[in-house]
Amino acid sequence: MTLDLSSLGWDDDLAVAYLAHDRAEQRPARVTRVDRGVCTAVAGDGVTRGSLSGALLSATAHDPAKHPCAGDWVVLRTWPDDRVTIEAILPRRTAIVRRTAGKGSVGQVLAANLDTAAVVEPMDPSPDLGRIERLLTLAWESGATPLVILSKADLAADPAGVAEQVAESAPGVEVVPVSAERGSGLDRLRPLVTAGRTLGLLGPSGVGKSTLVNALAGIRVMETQATRRVDGKGRHTTTYRTLIPMPDGGAVIDTPGIRAVGLLDAETGLDRAFADVAELAAACRFNDCRHNGEPGCAVRAALESGELPPRRYESWCKLQREIAYEMRRLDVRLAAEERTRWKRINRSMRARGARP
């Protein structure tokens, strides 16, 4: 079997990045899934499984963000005994990075090399605007083009009205109502999964991400939740982040439902997701305005006139606080690492100085 990797996004830039690894026993591949350190990847000659090489494992041991994930382009090496290892990850163009649950400001990559990062929220139950804003911050920060997909449009009385309301919380982002049940709205998504392009789906469990993948593929590639829960809180059906090559080219990355997504240094993403608020804040008289009653505060004025909904302002404040907190924790960690480094240097200098 030979596969055309360009259909999955392989191009001249990646080929240039691969040159440094171009050896007879190596070949490029795109990771479709990672399961306890074992990567499944699509190479030119088919699907292969491989573990991280010792060198890559030790180089990335302290930083989960450097582990391969669905969507990564990697270098595979086949050993004389037919074992396959992942030797390197080619530079990511875009990456969805969230904060891991553990302590410390450590990032984890949910999906790599997306062209479009779609935030999926259902029309029924009503879309959660705060969750959309949080995920859009992550999507903007990833470097991919963000998109909002409002699923289960068939269950809403006025899908266009809901979409319009959501659009107010998503400046500069296209909002697409979709019903996988009826097949409506899919035509607006198809151009995003043509040959070479990758669409990623992010959103809570049970919103219909995998159902959407199947609808786009035209075949049942992903398992979906069998019965719709009345409480809307389905158990997780998809358990692995998975890249699914589409029959006509392109790929979709399906992710398990995410309940809570922590942000890291997503300042740029926040500014893009809240471009309207950022613009207001830039118009305040004092550039260190805290929007707390200072004279000439454009944010307060917009809140009072009703131009800026209080809910959106609160949401912005909350995400901003979270990012600032993570940045401080990151600073503390970096400072501690720097101190340890200097201690080590001093110690070795003293040891050397002691010698005759």
Ligand X SMILES: Nc1nc2c(ncn2[C@@H]2O[C@H](COP(=O)(O)OP(=O)(O)OP(=O)(O)O)[C@@H](O)[C@H]2O)c(=O)[nH]1
Residue 234 binding target from Mg ion, ligand X, Zn ion, none, CB below 5 to 8 Å by type: ligand X
User: Do residues 151 and 166 touch, judged by C-beta distance below 8 A?
Assistant: no
For residue 79, give the amino acid letter. Answer: W
The nearer residue to ligand X, 238 or 320, going by C-beta atoms, is: 238
Residue 289 binding target from ligand X, Zn ion, Mg ion, none, CB below 5 to 8 Å by type: Zn ion
Contacts of 279 (CB under 8 A, 6+ apart): none
Give the tokens for residue 69.
């994930």
The footprint of ligand X on residues 284-323 (CB under 6 A) is none
The footprint of ligand X on residues 167-196 (CB under 6 A) is 179-181
Residue 302 touches Zn ion, criterion: CB under 5 A: no
Q: How far apart are CA 28 and CA 31, in angstroms?
A: 10
Q: Using alpha carbons, select from 2, 85, 4 the residue that is nearest to residue 49.
A: 85
Q: Which stretch binds ligand X (CB under 6 A): 21-29, 72-80, 133-141, 230-238?
A: 230-238
User: Which residue's structure tokens are 């550039």?
Assistant: 287
User: Do residues 137 and 269 touch, judged by C-beta distance below 8 A?
Assistant: yes
Binder of Zn ion out of 89, 176, 284, 323 (CB under 5 A): 284
Binder of ligand X out of 7, 137, 198, 205 (CB under 6 A): 205
Residue 125 touches ligand X, criterion: CB under 6 A: no
Q: Max alpha carbon distance in the chain (Å)?
A: 86
Residue 152 binding target from Mg ion, ligand X, Zn ion, none, CB below 5 to 8 Å by type: ligand X
Residue 299 binding target from Zn ion, Mg ion, ligand X, none, CB below 5 to 8 Å by type: Zn ion
CB of 271 to ligand X, least distance (A): 29
Number of residues this chain uses to bind ligand X (CB under 6 A): 23
Residue 60 touches Mg ion, criterion: CB under 5 A: no
Which DSSP letter does residue 193 get? G
The footprint of Mg ion on residues 150-209 (CB under 5 A) is 209
Length of the chain: 356
Binder of Zn ion out of 69, 291, 312, 316 (CB under 5 A): 291
Residue 209 touches ligand X, criterion: CB under 6 A: yes
Helical H segments across 102-236, by residue range:
129-142, 159-167, 186-189, 209-217
Radius of gyration of the chain (CA): 23
Q: Which stretch binds ligand X (CB under 6 A): 60-68, 125-133, 207-215, 327-335?
A: 207-215
Residue 256 touches ligand X, criterion: CB under 6 A: yes
Helical H segments across the chain, by residue range:
12-18, 54-60, 129-142, 159-167, 186-189, 209-217, 267-273, 275-282, 298-305, 310-354
Residue 277 touches Zn ion, criterion: CB under 5 A: no
Give the tokens for residue 264.
């890291």
Q: Which residues bind Mg ion (CB under 5 A)?
A: 209-210, 237-238
Q: Which residues bind Zn ion (CB under 5 A)?
A: 284, 289, 291, 297, 299
